[in-house]
Structure 1
Amino acid sequence: MSDLLSIGRSGVLAYQGALQTIGENVTNADTAGYSRRSVVLKEQSTYIGAFSLNRSAGAFGGVQATGVQRVWDQYKASNAWTSNSDASGASTRTQYLSTVESLLNDSDTGLGTRLTAIFATATQLSANPADTGLRQAFLGAVSDATTAFHTTAANLTKLSGTISTQANLLVGQSNDALDNLAKINLALRITPSTTAARAQLEDQRDALLGTLSGAMAIDTTFAADGSVSVRMNDVSGPLLLSNTAVSASQVRLQTATDGRLSISVQTEDDTTLAATPTGGALAGLVDGAATTAGRRQQLDGMATGLVDLLNGFQAAGLTDAGVAGTDMLAGTDAASIKLVDPFGIADIAAAGVAPPDPAAPPVDPLDPPVPPVAGAANGNLLALVGDNRGPDGLEQRWKTMVTDQSLQVSSAKLQESAASTRKDTAYTALDETTGVDLDNEAAELLRFQQAYSASAKVIQAARETLQTILDLF
C-alpha cells in the first residue's frame, strides 16, 4: 500500500513540474531568443531487500522528473547566425551605398548640371566676348559649380564621419558581447546540465552570439559543457574568445584620414592581428567607408581638373587690356575650390589673339590684311568648349561616377534581397525546432493535466483502500 502511495506521490510531483514548464513555455512564446523547454521524465525504481519473499531487488516506484531539457539544434543555430551576418552586411552596405548615391546629386541643382552650365554660358559668351552680361553669367556658372563642389564634398565628409561613428559603436557592442560570453562560459562550466539555470544561461549565450553575428561573421565551436569558442569569419580567422579563457580578445577600429576603416583583433597576450570582416554590419560599414572615400577622391580630382582647366583658359587668352589673364580659380580639392577674390569681369581672358608687337615695322596700307596669328577674338572660348567636353571631360567624368554608383546600388539591393530571404528561411527552420508552438503546448498541457489527475486518483484510491483495511479492526 505504501508503494501505491509513493507511486501516486511521484506522479503528482513529476507532472506538477511538467505543467510548470509548459506554463513557462507559453509565457515566453513571444520572447526573443527563448528556446522551448521540456521536462525529462523517467521511471523511478525502488530498491528493497534481496530476500523479501524472493521478490526482485528492484521494483517500479513511479515516475520522476530528472531535469529540464532545452530544445535546440546546433546546426540550425549556426546556419541562422551565418545567414544573419550575410543579411546584416548586405543591408548595411546597401544603406550607405544608397546614401552616397543620393549625395551625388544628379538633379537640376546638382554638380553635373552646374558643370554643364559653365560650358553652356561659355558658348553663349563666345558669340559676343565683350558682353558684360554674358561675362557675368559665365562667372555665375563657375561660382555655382564651386558651391556644388563644396556642398557635395561636405556631405560626403559628413557621411564618412557618420560611418566611423556607427562602426565605433558597433565595435564597442561587439566587445561587450564577447566579455559577457566569457562570463557565461564560466557559469556554464559549473552549472549542472538539465537544470532551468543551465537552460537560461544557454539562452543568454545564444542571444549574445546572435548579436555578435549581426556585427561580423563568426565561427562557433561548442564544448560538451555548453561553453563556446568564437572566431571571426571562419575556422581560420582570428580567435575572439576561447571557451576556457577568463577574458575575450578585443576588436579594434582604426579610421584613416580619408575615412577608410580597418579592423584588428588584440588577443589576450596583446598580439594585434589584422582582420577584415567578411560579413555583418562591420563589413558593410568598411565597404561603405571605402566607397565614400573613393568618391571623395574622385570629386577632388574633378575639382582640381576644373581649376587647371579654367586657369589654363585664362593663361591662354587675353584680357581687354591685351595681357594674359590671371587665375580664375584657387584651391586644391572640392572643399577649397573658389573664385579668386577680388575678381572682375574685365579679367576674363576671352580672346585668342596675341597682342601686337610694338617692335614690329608698321604695316603698309596697300599690303593685303594678315589674319590673326592665334585665331579669332573668341578663339579661346571656342577652344574651352570644343576641347573639353569629350569622353575625358569633366561632365563625362561626373556622369561615369554617378552611373557607376547607381550600378553598385542596384547590385547591392539584389544581394540584400537574396541574403534577407536566406536569413528568413534559416530562422524559420530554427524556430520550428526551438520555438514554442502554442497548439503543441495546449496538447501537452492536457496530457499532463490528465496524468496529474490520474496520479491524484492513485493516491486517493490508496488512502481509501488503506482506510477500508483499518476499518476491519
Structure 2
Amino acid sequence: MSIAKALSNAVSGLTATARGTETVASNLANIMTPGYARREMAVSAQTMGGAGGGVRIDGITRVVNAGLMAEMRAAGSAQAEAATRLQFLNAAEDLIGLPGEAGGLGSALSGFQSALLEAGARPDDELRLANVLSSAQGLASRLNAASDAVQAMRGEADHAIARDVAALNTGLERVAYLNKRISIITAEGNDPSSLVDERQAVIDQISTIVPVQEIAREHGKVALFTTEGATLLDGSTPAQFGFAEMPQIAAGQTPDNSLMSRLVVNGAELSASQMRLFAGGSLQGHFSVRDELAPQLQQELDTLALDLHDRLASAAADPTIGAGGAGFFTDGGSRADLSTVVGLAGRLSVNAALDPTQGGDLWRIRSGTGAATAGPAGDTAQLNRLTAALDKAQAAPATGVLLGNATLAQRIAGLESLTSTRRVSVEADSAIRNSRYETISGRFMADGVDSDAEMQKLLEYEQAYAANARVIQAIEEMMDQILRL
C-alpha cells in the first residue's frame, strides 16, 4: 500500500469517527426528548482503483420500530378514551353519593323521611312541620343540583370536543407542512431527521384524539388515516374538521332535535353511524359523555324525581288533591307527568302552598296539600299516609329506566349501586388500558436511546480514532525520515 493511500484511509477513518461521535452526542443529549429517534451512522468500505480506499459514510439513519410505535399510539388512544369516561363517572358517583354518605340523594331522602316520622309523633309542633318542609326542599334541591351538574358536564364535554377538533386541525396542518419540508430536504440530499422527529411527536399528539394509522409515501412523506379508514391526510392538504360548540345545553337536547353538532368533516356533518369512523381516543370519549353517559344519568334522575312526585301526589297519599292538582312536589308549580319528565329533576320543587315564605301554610303538611282549612292539630293521618307512600314498593314510572318494584329508598340505593358499578367497570378497563400503554411505551423507550450502549460506541470510536491517528503519525515519521535522506 502506498503512503498516499494509507493516508487517505486514515483520514476517512478520522472523518467517520468524528461523525459517529457527533451522532452519539446527539443521542445522549436527546435521550429524554419526546419523539426523538435514535440515530445510527451507516458506513461501508470505500474502494479506489479496485482496492480498499478507507471508509465511506452512507448517511445517518433514524432507528424506529414502526410496529411498536403503531401499537403505542393505539394504546394511547384507548387510554385517553377510557380516562375521559372515567372522569365523568367519578363525578357522577359524587353527584349521586354512596349509601349513607352525607350530601348524597340517599341521605337527603333519609332526612325527609325522618322529619315526617318526627312530625307524625307531634303533628301539632310547627317546628317539626317546618323541618319537614326544610328537608323536602333539601331533597328537591339535591335533585336540582345533580341535574344542573349533569348538564354542566355535558357542556364541558361539548367544549372539550371543540378543543380536540381545533388541536386536530392544527396538528394535521403541521404534519402537512413537515411533509413538504422533509420532501425538499431529502431531495437536496440533506438529513431531515430532526423534522421527522418533530412530525412523529405531532402524530403522537393527534393519536390521543383519534386513533391514527401512518402510511409511508414517497420522498419521506406520510399519509394518516383513522383505524376505521377515514382519511386525515393523504397528499398536501389535510381533511378539515369542524364543530359548532353549544353556548348552553339543556336536558333532552340531542344532535337530532337541536342545533347540537356532531363532527363536521370537509364541510359535511357526520351521521350517527359515520361517527364510528373516528371511534377511539379522547374525541370519542367526549362525544360519549355528551350524547350517551350524561343523558342516561339525566334520565335516571328524572325518573327518580317523577317517582317521588307521583308517590306524594296520588289520592292514596293525599286525598285532598283534586284531579290534575299539584301534590307535595311540583313541576314548576304544576303537576308533573310522563310527557314532561325530561329535565324534571332540575325543575322539581316543593308546592308553594306548603311554604309560608311563598304565601302557603305549614298546617297543609298535616292536613293535606289541597285542604281548604286546617284540620285538628293532633291529626296524624296525613303524615302517616305520606310516610307510607315513600315506603311502598311499587313500579317505577314507565321511562324505560330504573325498572322493577321498590320503595323510594330502594330506588335511590339501586341508582347509587348502578352508578358505582359503572364507575368500577370503567375504572378496571382504564387500569388495563393504562397498563398496556405503559408496557408498550416502556418497550418503545427501551428500543430507543440506551445510554450504556451509546457509551460503548463512544469507546469504540475513541479506539478507532486513536488507531487512525497512529497511522497518520507513522506516515509523518516516515516522511520525516525520507526528507532527511
What interval of TM-score do these two structures reach, taking the shorter chain for normalisation? 0.7 to 0.9
Residue equivalent to 2:42: 40
Q: 1:129: Cα distance to partner? A: 4.3
Residue equivalent to 1:28: 30
Contact 1:22 1:445 in 2 (8 A): yes
Higher mean C-alpha deviation, range 301-310 or range 72-81: 301-310
Counterpart Cα distance in 1 of 2:121 and 2:319 = 16
CA-to-partner distance for each residue in 1:266-322, whole Å, 9 max, x for gaps? 13xx44434244322223323333322322232233334434443446994349xxx
Contact 1:25 1:436 in 2 (8 A): yes
Q: 1:353: Cα distance to partner? A: 13
Residue equivalent to 1:102: 94
Which structure 1 residue ranges, 5 or more long, are not aligned? 48-57, 356-375
Higher mean C-alpha deviation, range 79-88 or range 219-228: 219-228
1:449 counterpart = 2:457: no
Say which SS state the counterpart of residue 220 (structure 2) adopts.
coil
Q: 1:163: Cα distance to partner? A: 2.6
Residue equivalent to 1:383: 385
Contact 1:313 1:349 in 2 (8 A): no
Residue equivalent to 1:279: 280
Higher mean C-alpha deviation, range 71-80 or range 120-129: 120-129
Contact 1:240 1:265 in 2 (8 A): no
Residue equivalent to 2:427: 413
Residue equivalent to 1:208: 202
Please give the residue correspondences for 1:326-341 in structure 2 after superposition, counting only pairs within 5 Å: 327-331=327-331, 333-339=344-350, 340=352, 341=358
Counterpart Cα distance in 2 of 1:194 and 1:454 = 34
Contact 1:93 1:287 in 2 (8 A): yes
Contact 2:30 2:36 in 1 (8 A): yes
Residue equivalent to 1:53: none
Which residue identity does 1:382 align to in structure 2? N
Residues 21 and 205 from structure 1, CA distance in 2 versus in 1: closer, same or farther, beyond 3 angstroms? same
CA-to-partner distance for each residue in 1:77-103, whole Å, 9 max, x for gaps? 101111111122222221221111112
Residue equivalent to 2:137: 143
Higher mean C-alpha deviation, range 244-253 or range 177-186: 244-253
Counterpart Cα distance in 1 of 2:370 and 2:347 = 32
Q: 1:25: Cα distance to partner? A: 0.8
Say which SS state the counterpart of residue 346 (structure 2) adopts.
coil
Residues 326 and 65 from structure 1, CA distance in 2 versus in 1: closer, same or farther, beyond 3 angstroms? closer
Q: Which has the larger radius of gyration?
A: 1
Counterpart Cα distance in 2 of 1:193 and 1:402 = 63
Contact 2:312 2:318 in 1 (8 A): no
Say which SS state the counterpart of residue 32 (structure 1) adopts.
coil
Q: 1:386: Cα distance to partner? A: 2.3
Q: 1:150: Cα distance to partner? A: 2.7
Counterpart Cα distance in 2 of 1:353 and 1:78 = 68
Residue equivalent to 1:75: 67
Contact 2:327 2:369 in 1 (8 A): no
Say which SS state the counterpart of residue 275 (structure 1) adopts.
helix
Counterpart Cα distance in 1 of 2:216 and 2:118 = 74
Which structure 2 residue ranges, 5 or more long, are not aligned? 255-259, 333-343, 353-357, 373-377, 394-404
Which residue identity does 1:92 align to in structure 2? T
Say which SS state the counterpart of residue 41 (structure 2) adopts.
strand
Contact 2:16 2:55 in 1 (8 A): yes
Please give the residue correspondences for 1:247-266 in structure 2 after superposition, counting only pairs within 5 Å: 247-250=238-241, 252=243, 257-258=250-251, 263-266=262-265
Sequence identity (%)? 24
Counterpart Cα distance in 2 of 1:10 and 1:227 = 33
Which residue identity does 2:239 align to in structure 1? A
Which residue identity does 2:282 align to in structure 1? A
1:111 counterpart = 2:112: no
Residues 399 and 7 from structure 1, CA distance in 2 versus in 1: closer, same or farther, beyond 3 angstroms? same
Which residue identity does 1:350 align to in structure 2? S
Residues 353 and 158 from structure 1, CA distance in 2 versus in 1: closer, same or farther, beyond 3 angstroms? closer
Say which SS state the counterpart of residue 31 (structure 1) adopts.
coil
Contact 2:318 2:385 in 1 (8 A): no
Q: 1:180: Cα distance to partner? A: 0.7
Please give the residue correspondences for 1:419-458 in structure 2 after superposition, counting only pairs within 5 Å: 419-433=433-447, 435-458=448-471
Residues 226 and 60 from structure 1, CA distance in 2 versus in 1: closer, same or farther, beyond 3 angstroms? same
Higher mean C-alpha deviation, range 257-266 or range 413-422: 257-266
Counterpart Cα distance in 2 of 1:351 and 1:226 = 81
Q: 1:73: Cα distance to partner? A: 1.2
Higher mean C-alpha deviation, range 419-428 or range 247-256: 247-256
Counterpart Cα distance in 2 of 1:126 and 1:61 = 107
Which residue identity does 2:359 align to in structure 1? P
Which residue identity does 2:237 align to in structure 1? V
Say which SS state the counterpart of residue 348 (structure 1) adopts.
helix
Say which SS state the counterpart of residue 165 (structure 1) adopts.
helix
How many aligned positions are there?
433
Say which SS state the counterpart of residue 317 (structure 1) adopts.
coil
Corresponding residue to 2:360 among 301, 321, 343: 343
Higher mean C-alpha deviation, range 456-465 or range 96-105: 456-465
Q: 1:172: Cα distance to partner? A: 1.6
User: TM-score w.r.t. structure 1 length?
Assistant: 0.82
Counterpart Cα distance in 1 of 2:289 and 2:407 = 27
Residues 159 and 386 from structure 1, CA distance in 2 versus in 1: closer, same or farther, beyond 3 angstroms? same
